[in-house]
Structures are given as structure tokens and as C-alpha cells.
């Protein structure tokens, strides 16, 4: 499986590291915004083809699939370009920053039959997989998910502390993780969705604080608080409050309500959610099947994000 990867930043590197652990898969082309920095990353991982133009990678006949770790605003257009070039595509979350663009990606996937997947990593994190297995076994039913997504981003920096060339978004990126996970874990679509946002940042042009409420058809609720103003601790913390217990997920770690750690090391072949995500993408291509977190399966999330955006005005 020969892969082109677009985006040589923090998340692109995570995907390269994950793919190196998957037998029979390799990144053969790397696309980046700055040629010199992209060459440095390519040299580090032994990637021979380097370019600043995705079109160059799509023209390589040997490329089977593309992983997009580019700025949010480019995701939909690049996903469409990949499929138009006959390449399978995995686009990092979010699939798009509008419902219209998300629907266009899904429509082209259905027309081409190619594998098109979105990086909704929470579906793959062992901590959330453990809870999902308990739900599917009928041993746990969610009453409420209480989620905190907190970062400190008053300047435009990425996960490595480097200046970003684009602006991140609380709703279309960070809320997408939780909105999708809530519907995935409950197995239901959200019927009630409300949101309020704080002041718009004078230079970044985005809301820095947001509060979201969701409710499914059978009454399961989710309360989500998001902030780019929080000066630590940073990250996303999920509290599952259910009928038979309480579980707290902190990325790949899981605890019960008494803060006792639960061993999730045997849930899957790796503890790395990004690697597991890439394994699913590659397996779906090889097995000619729809992957978990296919663009079609996550589309309900983007319908809710659109509803929330319209409701906030």
C-alpha cells in the first residue's frame, strides 16, 4: 500500500509514525507548505518524493491512497481532488467546515466507490473502544456524557508550539470529536442540539469559548464545554455517566468513577489511536469494505454542527 501524505506538521508526523508500524504500507510522497521543512521531515522518515503541491502526488501512478493532514479549510476540496484522481482518501478531522462541503465529499465517495474515511480518532482510542464494547454487550448504557475540551491558544500555535498558517475552530474541529463520539457510542442520532459561544477574538476571528448541549431520541444527554482560553490542564476529558457505572477517559487512559485505572492495553493491537485509525483505513482498502468513520458514517455529526452554527447566529 503506497501512500501520499499531505501535511508535514504535528499530525502528519503522527500518521507517518503510525504507518511505519503497519506491515506492507509506506508513505512514498510527502506534501508540505514549506519545501525545506518538508524535506527535513521526509529525510527523517526516508520518504523520497517531496513537493508543495498535492497535484504532484496525485499524478504518481503508484500512489494508492492519500492521507490529508492539511488545514481544515482545505479538507473538503482536497478530498474531492483525491477521489477525482482515483485515490482512496483519509482526511483528518474535520471532513469539512460546512455541511454543504461535507455532503459533496460523501456524494463523490458514493459515485466513485472509493474508500473515503475521516479521522474521527475517538472511535479508535482504546479507552473509548472499551466503553463501546461494554455498551454493545448490554452491560452499560450512557445517561450523560460530560466532556471538557480545553486548550490555551490565544495565539495561533499548533500542537508542537509552532506558528500556524491557518486558524483552528472550536465548533468544526474540536466539537466534531465529541458530537460524533456521542452519536457513535449511544447508537442514536441527536434530536436536540443547543449552543452558545463567547466573544469573538479580535485577531483570530473565532469564538474562544463555547458550550454545547445534545440530546438523543431516547433522552441520553451530552454536555460539552470548549475553550481556547484555558491555561491548563490541557486536553479533552470525557466522563461517561451510565446506569451501571461512571468512566473517565483521558485520551488513551481510562478510569472508573473512583479514579481507579482500567487496563485497556488488550483492547486492540496498539494503544495509539492514530495508528489504529490508519490500520482501519488500510484494511478497508484491502478488504474492499466501508471503514469505521467513513465519510458517510460521520455525516450525521456535520449535520449537527451545521445546526449548532445556525443556532448561534
Are 183 and 250 in the same domain? yes
Residue 159 shares a structural domain with residue 54? no
User: Is 79 within the bounds of a domain?
Assistant: yes
Q: Are residues 133 and 77 in the same domain?
A: no
Same domain for 143 and 199? yes
The pLDDT score that the predictor gives to residue 230 is 92
Which residues neighbour 191 within 8 Å (Cβ) at sequence distance 6 or greater?
Answer: 215, 216, 217
In a domain, 200, yes or no: yes
**pLDDT recorded at residue 164:** 62
Cell of 48: 523520497
145 and 94 both lie in a single domain: no
Instruction: Quote the CA–CA distance of 86 and 101 in Å, as a whole number.
Output: 19
Residue 313's pLDDT is what?
63
114/144 same-domain check: no
How many CB atoms lie under 10 A from the CB of residue 82? 28
Do 254 and 130 belong to one domain? Answer: yes
Residue 166's pLDDT is what? 61
In a domain, 212, yes or no: yes
Counted domains in the chain:
2
Q: Is the same domain home to 134 and 260? A: yes
79 plus 137 within the same structural domain: no
Do 196 and 223 belong together in one domain?
yes
Bridge pairing between strands 246-250 and 190-197? unpaired
Grid cell 466522563 in the structure block, residue: 239
Residue-range definition of the domain harbouring residue 113 = 2-121+274-292
Q: What is the pLDDT at residue 91?
A: 98
Q: Are residues 101 and 234 in the same domain?
A: no
Determine the 3-state secondary structure of 39 from DSSP.
helix
Tens digit of pLDDT at every position of the chain (313 positions): 999 999 999 899 999 999 999 999 999 999 999 999 999 999 999 999 999 999 999 999 999 999 999 999 999 999 999 999 999 999 999 999 999 999 999 999 999 999 999 999 999 999 999 999 999 999 999 999 999 999 887 776 655 566 666 668 899 999 999 999 999 999 999 999 999 999 998 888 889 999 999 999 999 999 999 999 999 888 999 999 999 999 999 888 999 999 999 999 999 999 999 999 999 999 999 999 999 999 999 999 999 999 999 998 6
Q: Is 239 a domain residue?
A: yes
Same domain, 92 and 166: no
Specify the pTM. 0.94
Amino acid at each position: 500500500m503506497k501512500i501520499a501524505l499531505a501535511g508535514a506538521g504535528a499530525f502528519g508526523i503522527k500518521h507517518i509514525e503510525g504507518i511505519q508500524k503497519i506491515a506492507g504500507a509506506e508513505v512514498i510522497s510527502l506534501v508540505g507548505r514549506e519545501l525545506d521543512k518538508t524535506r527535513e521531515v521526509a529525510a527523517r522518515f526516508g520518504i523520497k518524493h517531496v513537493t508543495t503541491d498535492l497535484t504532484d502526488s496525485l499524478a504518481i501512478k503508484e500512489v494508492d491512497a492519500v492521507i490529508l493532514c492539511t488545514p481544515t479549510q482545505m479538507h473538503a476540496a482536497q478530498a474531492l481532488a483525491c477521489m477525482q484522481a482515483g485515490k482512496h482518501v483519509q482526511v483528518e478531522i474535520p471532513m469539512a467546515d460546512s455541511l454543504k462541503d461535507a455532503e459533496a465529499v460523501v456524494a463523490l465517495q458514493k459515485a466513485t466507490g472509493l474508500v473515503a474515511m475521516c479521522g474521527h480518532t475517538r472511535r479508535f482510542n482504546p479507552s473509548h473502544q472499551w466503553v463501546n464494547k461494554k455498551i454493545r454487550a448490554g452491560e452499560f448504557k450512557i445517561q450523560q456524557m460530560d466532556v471538557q475540551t480545553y486548550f490555551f491558544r490565544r495565539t495561533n500555535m499548533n500542537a508542537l508550539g509552532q506558528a500556524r498558517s491557518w486558524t483552528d475552530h472550536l465548533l468544526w474541529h474540536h466539537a466534531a470529536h465529541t458530537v460524533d463520539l456521542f452519536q457513535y457510542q449511544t447508537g442514536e442520532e441527536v434530536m436536540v442540539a443547543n449552543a452558545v459561544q463567547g466573544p469573538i477574538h479580535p485577531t483570530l476571528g473565532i469564538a474562544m469559548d463555547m458550550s454545547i448541549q445534545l440530546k438523543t431520541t431516547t433522552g441520553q444527554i451530552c454536555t460539552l464545554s470548549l475553550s481556547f482560553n484555558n491555561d491548563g490542564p490541557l486536553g479533552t476529558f470525557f466522563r461517561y455517566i451510565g446506569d451501571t457505572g461512571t468512566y473517565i477517559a483521558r485520551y488513551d487512559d481510562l478510569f472508573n468513577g473512583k479514579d481507579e485505572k482500567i487496563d485497556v492495553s488488550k483492547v486492540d493491537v496498539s494503544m495509539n489511536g492514530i495508528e489504529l485509525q490508519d490500520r482501519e483505513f488500510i484494511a478497508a482498502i484491502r478488504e474492499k469494505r466501508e471503514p469505521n468513520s467513513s465519510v458517510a458514517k460521520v455525516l450525521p455529526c456535520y449535520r449537527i454542527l451545521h445546526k449548532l452554527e445556525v443556532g448561534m447566529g
